[in-house]
Amino acid sequence: MGTGFVNLSFWALSTIALVLAPTTTLSQPAPVAKAQEPGKSLYKTKYRVIDVHIHGGAPRQEAVAAEIEVMDCAGIIAAINLDGGRSDETLAAAIKLEKKHAGRFLTFAKFTKKDFARVREPKFFDGLVRELERAAKLGIHGIKIWKDLGMWIEDGPGKRLRLDDPRLDPFWAKCGELRLLVLIHTADPKEYWYPLTYNSLHYGSRTEDDQMYRVPGMPRWEDLIAQRDTVIKKHPKTTFIGAHFGSMTFDLQGLAQRLDRYPNFYVESSARLRILGHLNPKAVCDFFVKYQDRILFGSDGFVLIGGYKPGRDKRNVLVYPLDDEDRLSVDGKDAKVVRCWKDGQVGMYSSYFEYFETDRLDLVEPGSFGAGWLRLAGAKLPPEVLEKFYHANAERLIPGLDRLWLYNRPLKSASERSP
């Protein structure tokens, strides 16, 4: 997940996660960003859609049931849960829920800072490969690598562990050997690495203290992207999906060069429409047409996420959101709160689909970023591109999606789906 925003009023709170602080629940309506303008009808897609980027958090049946209701209403036939966890923690329970709801979810294991706590131990990197093998035996379909690898996981005092560290080569190679996709979140929007100015898109939504150049020892954005590129080039038998357009939405030309250069590199679309919709819609459409076999749909949704503990109203950008002990969970038994969350989720999907399928010039960003002033110009992708982007590319790339029994069920028409 994670865009690195400290102000979450426009993304994570409109989307989703499960139990982040199991002992603390939120029984009052969580702040939910409105992805739809008041009084505006929901836009419903006629296409079947696979969401390759959602955060399921700790396994919980009531949250899965709530997410399925959202998916049915929005037309999402299947989703990839990126928060399977480790083989000795929550992974087995997540896989069990996946099997219980066959055809709706596939599970990826995730690797974040806490998984690298013993990085200086002699056999750590061998253990990382063994953990991957154990997770594969349990039934994962891929892994999620968060941005803290390269950005702030330490390899000794004052030294960052690089993405392209040779000691990680067996890990990346094993992913390819096991046919596990790597959904990799490297860096964030380039604008985060520079001082905010009057020309900054994120002016007012971030403070100077939020900018990455203020973090001691933070590598340059260009260095992080280069590390990722080195890994992709070095491991051509492993398939990588760059989260959030590979953190290159501000530079589609540079992203195009990498897609041309690395046939094992793909990207997904989550949490970046505030940037993409700022561009010439013809350029965006042309980009999607040219790379129609390389882009997947993702939302960065969180299942039943709440706010923060009193006094901790800001996100810790150095901690993976689902590992943040200051985050509150939503009481899945509180019908009012859950209804509020569901409405926000369906509205979020509606905004995504309207951007990709229409040429309207007055669209609101799915997480309501800049809702008071920012309007997006729809890209209106051709039908054949939408088919690949929404589901066919995921079916082709991700093991298991091509076998889901759900594809034999007819998708309800847009008029039959109700929020």
- For residues 159-178, average pLDDT: 98
Assess contact for 322 and 17: CB atoms under 8 A. yes
pLDDT averaged over every residue in the chain: 87
Residue 180 pLDDT grade (very low, low, confident, very high; cuts 50, 70, 90): very high
The predicted pLDDT at position 314 comes to 61
Domain 12-406: which CATH class?
Answer: alpha beta
Q: Which two tokens stand for residue 62?
A: 């009531």
Q: Domain segments of the chain: what residues? A: 12-406
Assess contact for 70 and 96: CB atoms under 8 A. no
| Predicted confidence (pLDDT) at residue 258 exceeds the cutoff of 70 | yes
Residue 237 pLDDT grade (very low, low, confident, very high; cuts 50, 70, 90): very high
Residue 104 pLDDT grade (very low, low, confident, very high; cuts 50, 70, 90): very high
- For residues 203-223, average pLDDT: 93
The predicted pLDDT at position 21 comes to 34
The predicted pLDDT at position 12 comes to 36
Query: Where is average pLDDT lowest: 358-367, 376-385, 402-411?
Result: 402-411
Residue 411 pLDDT grade (very low, low, confident, very high; cuts 50, 70, 90): low
Rounded to whole angstroms, the Cα distance separating 83 from 22 reads 15
Residue 22 pLDDT grade (very low, low, confident, very high; cuts 50, 70, 90): very low
pLDDT above 90 covers a percentage of the chain that reads 70
DSSP per position, 204-266: TTB-GGGSGGGSTTPPPHHHHHHHHHHHHHH-TTS-EEEHHHHT-GGGHHHHHHHHHH-TTEE
The predicted pLDDT at position 333 comes to 84
The 3-state secondary structure of 107-149 reads EEEEECHHHHCCCCCCCHHHHHHHHHHHHHHHCCCEEEECCHH
Q: Which residues pair with 143 in a beta bridge?
A: 109, 182
**11 to 53, 156, 346: CA distances (angstroms):** 14, 34, 14
Could you give the dihedral angle defined by the CA atoms of residues 353, 358, 364 and 367, in that order, rounded to the nearest 10 degrees?
Answer: 20
Quick: pLDDT tens for 316-333.
777 887 788 888 777 888
Rounded to whole angstroms, the Cα distance separating 65 from 304 reads 11
| Predicted confidence (pLDDT) at residue 274 exceeds the cutoff of 80 | yes
Rounded to whole angstroms, the Cα distance separating 229 from 223 reads 10
CA 241 to chain centre: 11
The pTM for the full model equals 0.89
Rounded to whole angstroms, the Cα distance separating 96 from 94 reads 5
Residue 404 pLDDT grade (very low, low, confident, very high; cuts 50, 70, 90): low
Rounded to whole angstroms, the Cα distance separating 151 from 70 reads 34
- Give 3-state DSSP helix, strand, coil % of the chain, rounded to 5: 40, 15, 45
Assess contact for 153 and 323: CB atoms under 8 A. no
Residue 309 pLDDT grade (very low, low, confident, very high; cuts 50, 70, 90): confident
The predicted pLDDT at position 417 comes to 65
